[in-house]
Structure 1
Amino acid sequence: MTTATSRISGGRTGIATYRDVLALPGVGSLSLIGFLVRIPASAGPITVTLHVVLGLGQGYAAAGTVGAATTIGMALGAPLLGRLIDRRGLRLVLVLTTCAEVGFWAVAPWLPFPALLVGALLGGLLALPVYSVVRQAIAALVPTARRRPAYALDSMSVELSYILGPAVGTALAVGVSTTAAMAVVGAGYALGGVALWILNPPTRAETPHDGRRETGPVSEWLTPKLVATLLATTAAAAVVFGCELGIVAALQGSGQAGLIGVVIAVWCLSSLAGGYLYGAAHRSRSLYALVAALGLATLPVALGGSWWTFALLLIPAGLACAPSLTASADAVAALAPDRVRGMVTGLQGSSITLGAAFGAPLAGALIDAISPAAAIVTAGLVGVAMAGASALIARR
């Protein structure tokens, strides 16, 4: 047993827990590269949106269509890329997806809208799988007893990237040009893909005997508990994206659009704090209870009016956000056999993508038909209902 492993088995809490996780071989470099690669990944959507609106002169509905095409591509591609990692190894997938990302961002500024729509679908299908790769590698590098703080650390990294990435993308698109912003995003993907290729983190704890291992019968690993975990993950994403759209609509409608970034930043910071507390705690909590708590904590956000009331009301919901996603990643790591870890982690990524694809359009329809408050309340109630359904499925 290594010194680092001995330390983390001692049950330490607080910031020492995170120091011990980062002391494990390979975890510190993986965390740093994962954070840096997620900055262009988080800047990409807002950059494309602004390019469609400002560069192509289309409306936000057209920008939403491009986003939907990317979402569909990612939902379909994530499990397929995960299976390819299981069968052929990580580096082949990194070469394939990095080349696809660089190609898309290089030509996207010059494409007419119909071609951009097709490119977004293909780009999503071959998107660099940074989220699933990092979570697979955590499962391979970190002992089971310390995966919860490791995944909490990863969730906090995601929150930080979503504070920085969209701000950088917006500043470049508005202050310079959308073409420059898309070029920077593409360069970020190129550097991130090369860095991951050089690092080549392990994606399974065991070493396969060859590159063509079979996944086995689906019924052996797609258990009711895994299905319940994926459904709860979809529920959490639906709550977050539905609530976000409702907040944006409410602030725009009341003439406070300039403060949307401040409100979202408070939300992200409270989620970061929740992830820190959850990862440093002595015990885990039920994924289904956490997602239900996220849904319930979202309901009071509908009472917001001024930007500062939204910011305050979002703090409890933010505190439940990162813990829900941390518990999801931890549960998937525990339920996924090593031979299909890539495919199952890809399915988890697809469940998040599907939650966004379900939550945002539902919220948009309710905003147009009723009000932003109705969209926020519905997002919260849907999360509670889906969390309950997930818990029932898990008991089978």
Structure 2
Amino acid sequence: MLVNERDGIGAAGTVAAALWLGQALGGPVIGRLGDRRGHRNVLLVACAANAAALTALVTAVLSGLPLAPRMALAVAAGLTVPQVGPLARARWARLAGADKRLLGSALSFDTTLDEVGFVFGPALAGILAVTVHPASALVLAAGLILVFGSLFAVHPTAPGPTSPAPGARADVRLWSPGLVLLFAMSVLQGAAWSSANTGVNALAESLHQPGAAGLIWAAMAVTSSIAGLVTVARPGSADLTARLRWTIAVQAVLTLPLLAVSGLIGATLAVSGIGLAVAPHLIALFGLVERTGPAARMGEAMTVVASGLILGQAVAAAASGPLAATYGYRAAFAVACAAVAASAALSVVAATRTAAPPAPSPSPRPSSPDRPRSRR
């Protein structure tokens, strides 16, 4: 939409970064409020506010307002994103209880559904940009959030307000070394996506086909969805830490062909290849979040790591947008390759830290050795 209004890829990246930064800051707050006050009221307010902010952002762009108010509205839109994905994962954790196999399948399926959504989102945005108007996709997004986000808010699975059990600590500690490492990996993953996406947009713009960028990016979601469904159907015997290592290592290798891309077909093939490792990596990542985060603050733990993805996208958008405008689309692709390589290196450390020992039990009975985090 911003490129179509002759703002250029640099300004578009700046506004996108503002939206993502707002989402990264607001996500953990909404997750924490959801854990403490229940999902229903928190999400209903967030959905209404987010739909209003998106509508105001579209109006500001089409009215030709300066960059500063556009950025302010983008931050507001980000702050109010209702965090349906992370809170859905928290609901799965509550519903599955102690059945770890069921929980693993549920989280895998949920992550795959995210990828399926990413198939239709960019493709639909690209089609609407070409056939209707570049702003129509954001207007549709506002409507979808308002309607289906509200339905998610009032669904019977929505947990109500929680209060600490008698004798329990009022505020369970959220952060642990394992969660910090998973958050750092999510930041790098988000940076890789954002830089690659910026490169695809810059390439499409240089070829005078900006509407094709969404369709190209949807190719990654197609292959990622297929890989996710395969992972759900055949989870394999490797533990989550091992999956985390090899999936990001494969993704690092598959990202390198972006540096040789020179046309839309090549870009489509390259991002399709990357998608083969995306969903399996996210399945392992959020599976480890469930094992590492405290049960009493699971919604917040999920939103924190999901916000890491958004924070990485915001930082990378702010950096790769101007780089692509100055040096061309390959500069953005180079940032993507560097981010995935750094994440692969960090995964070696994360693999040894996420399987943390269980916290000391307050009761005389010893903790069960197969429980890597606090008891539910």
TM-score greater than 0.5 by the shorter chain = yes
1:238–1:292: structure 2 CA closer, same or farther, 3 Å change rule?
A: farther
Could you tell me whether the CA contact under 8 Å between 1:105 and 1:183 is conserved in 2? yes
Is the counterpart of residue 89 in structure 1 residue 38 in structure 2? yes
SS of the residue aligned with 1:286? helix
**Aligned pair partner of 1:193 in 149, 155, 175:** 149
Partner of 1:148: 104
**Aligned pair partner of 1:133 in 66, 69, 87:** 87
SS of the residue aligned with 1:91? helix
Could you tell me whether the CA contact under 8 Å between 1:296 and 1:381 is conserved in 2? no
Could you tell me whether the CA contact under 8 Å between 2:231 and 2:280 is conserved in 1? yes
SS of the residue aligned with 2:255? helix
Could you tell me whether the CA contact under 8 Å between 2:17 and 2:313 is conserved in 1? no
C-alpha distance in structure 1 between counterparts of 2:11 and 2:205, whole Å: 19
Is the counterpart of residue 162 in structure 1 residue 118 in structure 2? yes
Is the counterpart of residue 271 in structure 1 residue 224 in structure 2? yes
Shift of 1:254: 4.4
- 1:140-173, Cα deviation, whole Å (9 max, x unpaired): 2233213333233223222222232234345445
Is the counterpart of residue 119 in structure 1 residue 73 in structure 2? yes
- 1:67-100, Cα deviation, whole Å (9 max, x unpaired): 2221111111111111111111111211220221
Is the counterpart of residue 99 in structure 1 residue 48 in structure 2? yes
1:391–1:215: structure 2 CA closer, same or farther, 3 Å change rule?
A: farther
The structure with the greater share of residues assigned to helix is 1
SS of the residue aligned with 2:40? helix
Is the counterpart of residue 395 in structure 1 residue 352 in structure 2? yes
Is the counterpart of residue 356 in structure 1 residue 313 in structure 2? yes
C-alpha distance in structure 1 between counterparts of 2:251 and 2:321, whole Å: 20
Could you tell me whether the CA contact under 8 Å between 2:36 and 2:163 is conserved in 1? no
Tell me the amino acid that sits aligned with residue 243 of structure 1: A
- What aligned pairs does 1:296-315 form with structure 2 within 5 A after superposition? 296-315=253-272
Shift of 1:282: 2.0
- What aligned pairs does 1:333-348 form with structure 2 within 5 A after superposition? 333-348=290-305
Could you tell me whether the CA contact under 8 Å between 1:136 and 1:342 is conserved in 2? yes
Shift of 1:323: 0.9
Shift of 1:330: 0.7
- 1:156-193, Cα deviation, whole Å (9 max, x unpaired): 22222223223434544554456765543332222113
Shift of 1:240: 2.1
1:255–1:200: structure 2 CA closer, same or farther, 3 Å change rule?
A: same
Partner of 2:361: none
Shift of 1:378: 3.8
- What aligned pairs does 1:324-339 form with structure 2 within 5 A after superposition? 324-339=281-296
1:252–1:101: structure 2 CA closer, same or farther, 3 Å change rule?
A: closer
Unaligned runs of 5+ in 1: 1-49
Partner of 1:12: none
C-alpha distance in structure 2 between counterparts of 1:213 and 1:91, whole Å: 25
Could you tell me whether the CA contact under 8 Å between 2:25 and 2:307 is conserved in 1? yes
C-alpha distance in structure 1 between counterparts of 2:293 and 2:171, whole Å: 11
Could you tell me whether the CA contact under 8 Å between 2:126 and 2:212 is conserved in 1? no
C-alpha distance in structure 1 between counterparts of 2:125 and 2:210, whole Å: 17
- What aligned pairs does 1:15-54 form with structure 2 within 5 A after superposition? 50=1, 52-54=2-4
1:214–1:179: structure 2 CA closer, same or farther, 3 Å change rule?
A: same
Tell me the amino acid that sits aligned with residue 227 of structure 2: G
Q: Cα RMSD between the aligned structures?
A: 3.0
Could you tell me whether the CA contact under 8 Å between 1:70 and 1:120 is conserved in 2? yes
Could you tell me whether the CA contact under 8 Å between 1:236 and 1:324 is conserved in 2? no
C-alpha distance in structure 1 between counterparts of 2:342 and 2:108, whole Å: 25
Partner of 1:184: 140
Could you tell me whether the CA contact under 8 Å between 1:232 and 1:291 is conserved in 2? no
Shift of 1:122: 1.9
Could you tell me whether the CA contact under 8 Å between 1:232 and 1:288 is conserved in 2? no
Unaligned runs of 5+ in 2: 354-376
Partner of 1:34: none
Tell me the amino acid that sits aligned with residue 120 of structure 1: A
Shift of 1:308: 2.6
**Aligned pair partner of 2:206 in 237, 248, 253:** 253
Partner of 2:341: 384
1:138–1:369: structure 2 CA closer, same or farther, 3 Å change rule?
A: same
Which TM-score applies when normalising by structure 2? 0.79
Could you tell me whether the CA contact under 8 Å between 1:87 and 1:213 is conserved in 2? no
Could you tell me whether the CA contact under 8 Å between 2:17 and 2:317 is conserved in 1? no
Partner of 2:371: none
1:214–1:190: structure 2 CA closer, same or farther, 3 Å change rule?
A: same
For structure 1, which segment, 379-388 or 267-276, has the greater mean C-alpha deviation from structure 2 after superposition? 379-388
- What aligned pairs does 1:174-253 form with structure 2 within 5 A after superposition? 175-177=131-133, 182-202=138-158, 214-216=170-172, 218=173, 221-253=174-206
1:140–1:263: structure 2 CA closer, same or farther, 3 Å change rule?
A: same
Is the counterpart of residue 316 in structure 1 residue 270 in structure 2? no
Aligned residues: 340
- 1:305-358, Cα deviation, whole Å (9 max, x unpaired): 333333333333111011111111111111111111121111112110112123
